[in-house]
Structure 1
Amino acid sequence: MATSNQGYIASELARNDFQNTYDLLVRACASHPERMAFSCGDSHLSFAELARQADALARYLRHGLGLQPGDRLALQLPNSLQYPIATFAALQAGLVLVNTNPQYTAAEARHQFRDSGARAILVLDRLLPLVRAVQADTAIEHILLTSVDDMENPRYDGDEPGTQRFMQALRIGAELPPVEPVAGLERLALLQYTGGTTGVSKGAMLSHYNLLANIIQTLELFGKPGLLEPATDVRIAPLPLYHIMAFATNCLGSVGMGLHTVLIRDGRNLDEIIEAMLRHPFTLLTGINTLFVGLMNHPRFGEVDFSHLKWVTAGGAALNDEVARRWKQLTGAPIREGFGLTETSPVVTTSTSISPHRDGYIGLPLIETELRTVDDDGHDVAPEQPGELWVRGPQVMQGYWQRPEDSAQALTADGWLKTGDIAVLDAEGFVKIVDRKKDMILVSGFNVYPNEIEDTVMCHPGVRECVAIGVPDARKGEAVKLYVSLKDTALDAEALIAHCRQFLTGYKVPSFVEVLDDLPKSSVGKLLRRELRDRARAEVG
Structure 2
Amino acid sequence: MKASNFGLLIDQAVRLHPDKAALISGEQTWTYAELNDRMNKAGNLFKSFGVKRGDRVAVFFGNDLRFIEIIFGIMRIGAIPVPVNVKLGDDHLAYIIRDCGADAIVFHASFEEKISRLYEAGLLKHYIGAGSTSLFPAHSYDELLADQPAGLAVAEVRAEDVCYLPYTSGSTGKPKGCMLTHGGQYWISEALRTVRKVSHEDRALIAVPLYHANAMVNIQMSLRAGASIVLLPGVDPKNILESVQTQGCTFMTGVPAMYQMILSYYKENPHYDLSSLRFILCGSSEVPLELVQELERNLRVDILESYGLTEGGPVVFSSSRGAHNRQGSPGHPLPGCRVRVVGEDGEDLPPGQVGELWVKSPGVAKGYWNLPEVNASRFTPDGWLKTGDLVRLDEEGYAYIAGRKDDMINIGGEKAYPKEIQNLLLKHPNIANVCVIAKAHPVKGQVPVAFVVPTEDSELSAKDVQDYFFQHGAAYAYPREVYFLDELPLTGTGKVDRTKLTSLLNENDANAN
Residue in structure 1 matched with residue 441 of structure 2 by the alignment:
none
Counterpart Cα distance in 1 of 2:348 and 2:450: 30
**TM-score scaled to structure 2, two decimals?**
0.79
| 8 Å Cα contact 1:396/1:417 also seen in 2 | yes
Correspondence 1:42 to 2:27: yes
Counterpart Cα distance in 2 of 1:326 and 1:400: 38
Correspondence 1:55 to 2:40: yes
Residue in structure 2 matched with residue 382 of structure 1 by the alignment:
350
Counterparts of residues 93-112 of structure 1 (less than 5 Å)? 93-112=77-96
Counterpart Cα distance in 2 of 1:189 and 1:229: 25
Identity, % of aligned positions: 26
Specify every segment of 5 or more residues in structure 1 that has no aligned partner in the other structure, as ranges.
Answer: 1-9, 11-16, 148-154, 443-449, 451-466, 476-500, 521-541
1:208 to 182, 192, 195: 182
Q: What displacement does 1:328 show? A: 1.1
Change (3 A) 1:434 1:138: farther
Q: What displacement does 1:172 show? A: 2.1
Change (3 A) 1:229 1:343: closer
Counterpart Cα distance in 2 of 1:404 and 1:352: 36
| 8 Å Cα contact 1:310/1:333 also seen in 2 | yes
Residue in structure 2 matched with residue 243 of structure 1 by the alignment:
212
| Letter paired with 2:244 | M
Counterpart Cα distance in 2 of 1:248 and 1:364: 18
| 8 Å Cα contact 1:274/1:301 also seen in 2 | no
| 8 Å Cα contact 2:10/2:226 also seen in 1 | no
Residue in structure 1 matched with residue 461 of structure 2 by the alignment:
none
Counterparts of residues 92-171 of structure 1 (less than 5 Å)? 92-135=76-119, 137=121, 139-147=123-131, 161-171=136-146
With a CA cutoff of 8 Å and minimum separation of 6, indicate the structure with the bigger relative contact order: 1
SS of aligned partner of 1:30:
helix
| Letter paired with 1:194 | T
Counterpart Cα distance in 1 of 2:281 and 2:259: 11
Correspondence 1:199 to 2:183: no
Residue in structure 1 matched with residue 296 of structure 2 by the alignment:
328
2:312 to 319, 329, 344: 344
Counterparts of residues 412-423 of structure 1 (less than 5 Å)? 412-423=380-391
| Letter paired with 1:276 | S
Change (3 A) 1:133 1:394: same
| 8 Å Cα contact 1:114/1:138 also seen in 2 | no
SS of aligned partner of 1:282:
coil
| 8 Å Cα contact 1:310/1:353 also seen in 2 | no
Correspondence 1:515 to 2:508: yes
**TM-score scaled to structure 1, two decimals?**
0.75
Q: What displacement does 1:136 show? A: 5.4
Counterparts of residues 260-299 of structure 1 (less than 5 Å)? 260-267=228-235, 269-298=236-265
Residues 127-165 of structure 1: per-residue CA shift (max 9 Å, x gap): 122122134556421111124xxxxxxx6xx65653112
Specify every segment of 5 or more residues in structure 2 that has no aligned partner in the other structure, as ranges.
Answer: 409-417, 420-436, 438-445, 455-490
Residue in structure 2 matched with residue 189 of structure 1 by the alignment:
163
| Letter paired with 1:515 | N
Correspondence 1:80 to 2:86: no
Q: What displacement does 1:517 show? A: 5.1
Residue in structure 1 matched with residue 18 of structure 2 by the alignment:
33
| Letter paired with 1:131 | I
Residues 231-277 of structure 1: per-residue CA shift (max 9 Å, x gap): 3x211111111001211112x2211011111111112x223323322
Counterpart Cα distance in 2 of 1:77 and 1:53: 17
| Letter paired with 2:55 | D
| Letter paired with 1:41 | G
- Give the aligned CA root-mean-square deviation in angstroms: 3.0
| 8 Å Cα contact 1:296/1:327 also seen in 2 | yes
| Letter paired with 2:286 | A
Counterpart Cα distance in 2 of 1:145 and 1:50: 20
Counterpart Cα distance in 2 of 1:195 and 1:51: 31
| Letter paired with 1:350 | S
Residues 70-124 of structure 1: per-residue CA shift (max 9 Å, x gap): 1111111111111111111111111101110111211121111111111111112
Q: What displacement does 1:229 show? A: 4.1
SS of aligned partner of 1:168:
helix
Q: What displacement does 1:471 show? A: 5.3
Q: What displacement does 1:336 show? A: 1.4
SS of aligned partner of 2:179:
strand
| 8 Å Cα contact 2:244/2:277 also seen in 1 | no
| 8 Å Cα contact 1:142/1:162 also seen in 2 | no
Counterpart Cα distance in 1 of 2:118 and 2:332: 44
Change (3 A) 1:248 1:127: same
| Letter paired with 1:516 | D
Q: What displacement does 1:345 show? A: 2.3
| Letter paired with 1:22 | G
Change (3 A) 1:229 1:184: closer
